C-alpha cells in the first residue's frame, strides 16, 4: 500500500500495518494531518486538530523498535466530538460560552482509548451541547456534507460523521441522545452505532439529557465499530449506570438463525426515501437467507408521540444539567455588579438560541403547575414504548427501521415544526427505551445521496448486533462520496 493511500485503510488495517512494520505511526499521523489540512477547509468538521500526534506517533515507533507490545488501537487516528473531555485540550461544546474551557481530566472512554494506544487526532464540530439534528446550531459554523458541501452533514455529531465520511480519520466518537449518531451517519452514508444505555461510560461526556444519551461510534465498517466498542465497553467507577454489555449465547449466531422484524404498515405514511430504503434492505437480507418477519400493525402513528416525549424529557434534563454554566462554575463570565446579573448576562451572551429555548421550555415543563401535564405524561409514553419493544422482541431478535426520512438537506432550508418533529421520529424512540441500534448504509437515492436503515436490538445486545452486521457487511458496503469539494 503506497503511503499516499493510507487514508483508505480501516482502523484494523492501520493497526495491523503498523504492528507488522509496514508503515510507522509517525507516517500515519502526518498522513492524516495532511489530509485534514487539504480537505477540512471545505468540510469544517474539526474545531481543534491535535498536531501533537506526530510526537505521539514517534513514541509508538520507538516502542516498536524496542519490541514492546501494543494496545488494540495502536496508531489508529480517532476524532472526538467536542463534548467529550480530553485532558489539557479544549471542550467547547460548540458554544460561545465554553470556547476557552480546557478539560481538567480525560473522559473514561478517552482513558480507555489512550490505554489502547489510539492517536487522538482532534475535536470535531457539533450542534451546541448536542442540541440539533443538522449541525446548524454550532458556534463554529456549519459542518458540510462531504457528499455535497451545499448540504448539512447531519447532527448533532456533524463533525464526527463528516470526518469519517471524508476519510480524515477511520473512527470517531460522537454522542446520541435522540439520534445524533444514527442520523448524521445516514446523511453521510457511513456506519453509526448507538450502544445500549449504560454500556459505555458517560463520565466526561458533557451532560445534556443524562437519562437518554450514550456515546456513539462512527466508522466505515462494522469490524472497526466492534474493535472500538470492545475497547470502551469497559468499567467506570464514576458512572453508576455503566454495565458490561451482556455476552449472551446469541452473540455469535449465524445470520440465517436470527429473525429480523420489519413494519410494512409504517410505509403508508412515511417518505418514499425511507420506504425504499427499508424495502431494499428487506430484499437483500432475504436474498442472503435471513429470516425477515413482517410485524403488523405498526403504522407511523405508533411512534408519532415519541418525539414529543423526547423533547419534554431532554429539555427538562437540559434545564437542570446546564444550570452549571453560569460563568462562576463553568463558562466565560460577563461580570456585573450583582451575582444574579452576572449569571444572567453570562448565559444570555454565551448560549445560542436553541440552547436557550430548550432551557426555558424545560424549566416550564418541570414547574409544579405543569409537571403532570408534561413530564409525567412523557414518562408514561416511555413506559408505553418500553412495553411496545418488549412485545416486538418477544417475536423477533432485531427490528429494522429507517434511520432518517430523507437524504441530506440543503444548508439554509427552513423546516416547518412538523418537519422538525419528523427528523427524530425514527431515532429517538430507541433512546427513550435505552436500546442499541446500528445505522448502516443501504441506498443511493435518485439525487445521488446516501440513506441508511437502522437495526435495533434489545438493551445489552450490543455485541449481537455488531456481530450480525459483520456477517452482513458485503450486502451493505459503504459508498464513497466523490468528494467534489468545489461547491
The catalytic position among 95, 165, 180, 406 is 180
Cα dist from 384 to 309, 391, 429, 481, whole Å:
11, 11, 11, 40
Omega prior to 156 cis, within 30 of 0:
yes
Helix axes 11-19 and 53-65, enclosed angle (nearest 10): 40
* Alpha carbon distance 400, 279 (integer Å): 10
Sole window of 15-23, 60-68, 174-182, 247-255 interacting with ligand GLN (rule: CB under 6 A): 174-182
306 near ligand GLN (CB under 6 A):
no
**C-beta separation of 209 from 318 below 8 A:** yes
The catalytic position among 156, 186, 201, 245 is 156
179 near ligand GLN (CB under 6 A):
yes
Pick 130 or 146: Cβ nearer ligand GLN: 130
Pick 176 or 381: Cβ nearer ligand GLN: 176
Strand ranges inside 195-282, DSSP E: 214-219, 259-262
Q: Which residue number has the CB closest to ligand GLN? A: 180
Pick 73 or 430: Cβ nearer ligand GLN: 430
Sole window of 91-99, 172-180, 294-302, 464-472 interacting with ligand GLN (rule: CB under 6 A): 172-180
Least distance from ligand GLN to the Cβ atom of residue 337, Å: 36
* Alpha carbon distance 428, 42 (integer Å): 30
Q: Please confirm, yes or no, whether 486 is among the known catalytic residues.
A: no
Site string for ligand GLN, 134-163 (x = CB under 6 A): ----------------------x-------
Q: Nearest 5°: phi and psi at 265?
A: -70, -20
Sole window of 1-9, 175-183, 392-400, 456-464 interacting with ligand GLN (rule: CB under 6 A): 175-183
* Alpha carbon distance 56, 28 (integer Å): 11
Q: Please confirm, yes or no, whether 439 is among the known catalytic residues.
A: no
Contacts with ligand GLN: how many residues (CB under 6 A)?
Answer: 14
Nearest to 440 by CA among 426, 428, 450, 429: 450
* Alpha carbon distance 402, 187 (integer Å): 12
Query: Site for ligand GLN (CB under 6 A): which residue of 135, 159, 178, 198?
Result: 178
177 near ligand GLN (CB under 6 A):
yes
**Which residue(s) pair with 152 in the sheet?**
144
Pick 180 or 467: Cβ nearer ligand GLN: 180
- Collapsing DSSP to helix, strand or coil, 121 comes out as strand
131 near ligand GLN (CB under 6 A):
yes
266 near ligand GLN (CB under 6 A):
no
Q: Cα-atom radius of gyration of the chain, to the nearest Å?
A: 21
Strand order in the sheet with 77-81: 46-49, 119-124, 77-81, 171-176, 214-219, 191-194, 436-444, 450-457, 398-402, 259-262, 291-294
424 near ligand GLN (CB under 6 A):
yes
Q: What is the DSSP string of 144-160?
A: EETTEEEEE--SSSHHH
- Collapsing DSSP to helix, strand or coil, 273 comes out as helix
Q: How many CB atoms lie within 10 A of CB 20?
A: 9
Q: Which of residues 189-218 bind ligand GLN (CB under 6 A)?
A: none
* Alpha carbon distance 345, 349 (integer Å): 6
Least distance from ligand GLN to the Cβ atom of residue 399, Å: 19
133 near ligand GLN (CB under 6 A):
yes
437 near ligand GLN (CB under 6 A):
no
434 near ligand GLN (CB under 6 A):
no
The catalytic position among 56, 81, 144, 459 is 81
314 near ligand GLN (CB under 6 A):
yes
Least distance from ligand GLN to the Cβ atom of residue 36, Å: 24
132 near ligand GLN (CB under 6 A):
yes
Least distance from ligand GLN to the Cβ atom of residue 180, Å: 3
Least distance from ligand GLN to the Cβ atom of residue 184, Å: 9
Q: Please confirm, yes or no, whether 395 is among the known catalytic residues.
A: no
* Alpha carbon distance 212, 177 (integer Å): 5
180 near ligand GLN (CB under 6 A):
yes
Q: Which of residues 91-130 bind ligand GLN (CB under 6 A)?
A: 130
Where in the sequence numbering do the catalytic residues fall? Answer: 81, 156, 180
The contact set with ligand GLN (CB under 6 A) reads 130-133, 156, 175-180, 314, 423-424
Amino acid at each position: 500500500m503506497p503511503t499516499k493511500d493510507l487514508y483508505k485503510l480501516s482502523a484494523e488495517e492501520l493497526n495491523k500495518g503498523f504492528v507488522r512494520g509496514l508503515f510507522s505511526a509517525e507516517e500515519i499521523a502526518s498522513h492524516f494531518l495532511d489530509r485534514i489540512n487539504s480537505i477540512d477547509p471545505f468540510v469544517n468538521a474539526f474545531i481543534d486538530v491535535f498536531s501533537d500526534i506526530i510526537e505521539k506517533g514517534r513514541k509508538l515507533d520507538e516502542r516498536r523498535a524496542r519490541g514492546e507490545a501494543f494496545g488494540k488501537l495502536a496508531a489508529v487516528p480517532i476524532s472526538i466530538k467536542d463534548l467529550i473531555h480530553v485532558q489539557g485540550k479544549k471542550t467547547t461544546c460548540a458554544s460561545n460560552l465554553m470556547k476557552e474551557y480546557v478539560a481538567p481530566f480525560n473522559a473514561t472512554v478517552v482513558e480507555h482509548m489512550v490505554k489502547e494506544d489510539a492517536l487522538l487526532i482532534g475535536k470535531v464540530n457539533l450542534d451546541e451541547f448536542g442540541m440539533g439534528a443538522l449541525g446548524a446550531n454550532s458556534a463554529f459554523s456549519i459542518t458540510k456534507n462531504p457528499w455535497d458541501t451545499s448540504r448539512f452533514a447531519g447532527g448533532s455529531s456533524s463533525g464526527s460523521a463528516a470526518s469519517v465520511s471524508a476519510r480524515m480519520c477511520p473512527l470517531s466518537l460522537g454522542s446520541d441522545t435522540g439520534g445524533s449518531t444514527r442520523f448524521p451517519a445516514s446523511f453521510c452514508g457511513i456506519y453509526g452505532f448507538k450502544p445500549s444505555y449504560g454500556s459505555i461510560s458517560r463520565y466526561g461526556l458533557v451532560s445534556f439529557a443524562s437519562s437518554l444519551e450514550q456515546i456513539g461510534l462512527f466508522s466505515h465498517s462494522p469490524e472497526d465499530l466492534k474493535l472500538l466498542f470492545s475497547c470502551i465497553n469497559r468499567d467506570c467507577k464514576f458512572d453508576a449506570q455503566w454495565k458490561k454489555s451482556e455476552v449472551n449465547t446469541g452473540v455469535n449466531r449465524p445470520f440465517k438463525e436470527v429473525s429480523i422484524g420489519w413494519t410494512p404498515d409504517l410505509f403508508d405514511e412515511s417518505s418514499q426515501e425511507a420506504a425504499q430504503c427499508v424495502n431494499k434492505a428487506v430484499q437483500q437480507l432475504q436474498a442472503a437467507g435471513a429470516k425477515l418477519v413482517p410485524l403488523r400493525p405498526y403504522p407511523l402513528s405508533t411512534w408519532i408521540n415519541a418525539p414529543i416525549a423526547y423533547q419534554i424529557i431532554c429539555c427538562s434534563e437540559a434545564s437542570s444539567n446546564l444550570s452549571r454554566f453560569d460563568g462562576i462554575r463553568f463558562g466565560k463570565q460577563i461580570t456585573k455588579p450583582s451575582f444574579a446579573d452576572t449569571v444572567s448576562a453570562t448565559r444570555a451572551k454565551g448560549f445560542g438560541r436553541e440552547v436557550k429555548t430548550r432551557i426555558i421550555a424545560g424549566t416550564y415543563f418541570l414547574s409544579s403547575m405543569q409537571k403532570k401535564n408534561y413530564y409525567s405524561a412523557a414518562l408514561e409514553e416511555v413506559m408505553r414504548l418500553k412495553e411496545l419493544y418488549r412485545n416486538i422482541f418477544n417475536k423477533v431478535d432485531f427490528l429494522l427501521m429507517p434511520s432518517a426520512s430523507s437524504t441530506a438537506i440543503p444548508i439554509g432550508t427552513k423546516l416547518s415544526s412538523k418537519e422538525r418533529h419528523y427528523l427524530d421520529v425514527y431515532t429517538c424512540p430507541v433512546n427513550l427505551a435505552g436500546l442499541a441500534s446500528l445505522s448502516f448504509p443501504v441506498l443511493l437515492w435518485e439525487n445521488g445521496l446516501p440513506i441508511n436503515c437502522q437495526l435495533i436490538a434489545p438493551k445489552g445486545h450490543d455485541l449481537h448486533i455488531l456481530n450480525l452486521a459483520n456477517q452482513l457487511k458485503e450486502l451493505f458496503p459503504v459508498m464513497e462520496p466523490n468528494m467534489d469539494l468545489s461547491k
